[in-house]
Amino acid sequence: MPVELTALGHRFGSEPWLFRAMDFTFREGAVYALTGPSGSGKSTLLGILAGWIAPTEGSVVTRRDRSATWVFQNPHGVPGRSALDHVALPRLARGAAPDVADEEARHLLDRFALGHVASREFRALSGGEAQRLMLARAIASDPEILLIDEPTAQLDPTTGDTVNAVIGELSRDDTVVIVATHDTRTRDACSAVLDLGRFSPQVEE
Ligand SMILES: Nc1ncnc2c1ncn2[C@@H]1O[C@H](COP(=O)(O)OP(=O)(O)OP(=O)(O)O)[C@@H](O)[C@H]1O
């Protein structure tokens, strides 16, 4: 189900409005880059979409029991667990039999250019590999909404590009994918852009 923002606006207390009058529909199958200057409210909007922050005005319409999964700037894995197990576990949690979960995990690792490190422990992965693993793990959990916050912010440009190269793999028919980013190459790897700067009341004044 799409995620529809209607007349959405947010401000913290009596601070200036971050964004206002936002009408936008996020559709499944697309990968949206959420852009805008620092402080424009990208992380805040992700929090609203996850249901952690109640917007000051307007509404977010989607399925009531939507499941949102996050991927953060810093990859958080289990140091002694293999890359394969990071991706197989969410498949097991979704009800797959162990051999099926492993097969699905291997397939996902291949798509995220991680086939060669399947048996490597998380602690031994490079920064780019670890971040790609977080993306593969997130997809393995079948989220309805996938929220990704600055996936290349902690990586040098060359390593970041190994992450940008797999952004297209996030597209799924039944998932709304939103990537908050300052990285123009991440933005260009996405299939659509929502620029929060467009909804800043300060810009209009
Ligand atoms: N809980 C809060 N209470 C008060 N102000 C907040 C709160 N959370 C965020 N802010 C402020 O709201 C503004 C928007 O923050 P947010 O983190 O959403 O911006 P951003 O676009 O993600 O920024 P960046 O690109 O730097 O990560 C900032 O000025 C921030 O200090």
Nearest to 168 by CA among 114, 132, 130, 116: 132
The first and second tokens of residue 30, run together, are 């697309």
Q: Identify residue 153 by its one-letter amino acid code.
A: A
For residue 42 and ligand 1, the question of a CB distance below 6 A is answered with yes
Domain ranges in the chain are 3-199
> Mind listing the pLDDT tens digit for each residue in 115-173?
999 999 999 999 999 999 999 999 999 999 999 999 999 999 999 999 999 999 999 99
Ligand 1 mean position, distance from CA 17 (Å): 11
Q: What is the pTM of this model?
A: 0.93
Tell me the best of 35, 42, 178, 181 to mutate to test the pocket of ligand 1, counting ligand atoms within 8 Å of each CB and taking the most: 42
Ligand 1 mean position, distance from CA 27 (Å): 25
Nearest CA to ligand 1 atom 10: 12
> Mind listing the pLDDT tens digit for each residue in 38-63?
999 999 999 999 999 999 999 998 87
Supply angle C-alpha 191, 7, 25, rounded to 5: 25
User: What residues contact 112, with CB distance under 8 A and at least 6 apart?
Assistant: 132, 133, 135, 136, 166, 169
CATH 3.40.50.880 describes domain 3-199: no
Ligand 1 mean position, distance from CA 13 (Å): 12
For residues 24 and 195, the answer to whether their CB atoms sit within 8 Å is no
In the three-class reduction of DSSP (H, G, I as helix; E, B as strand; rest coil), residue 184 is classed as helix
Kindly provide the ipTM of the predicted complex, given to two decimals. 0.96
Q: For 142-178, what is the HEC assignment?
A: CCCEEEEECCCCCCCHHHHHHHHCCHHHHCECCEEEE
Q: How far apart are alpha carbons 1 and 27 in whole angstroms? A: 7
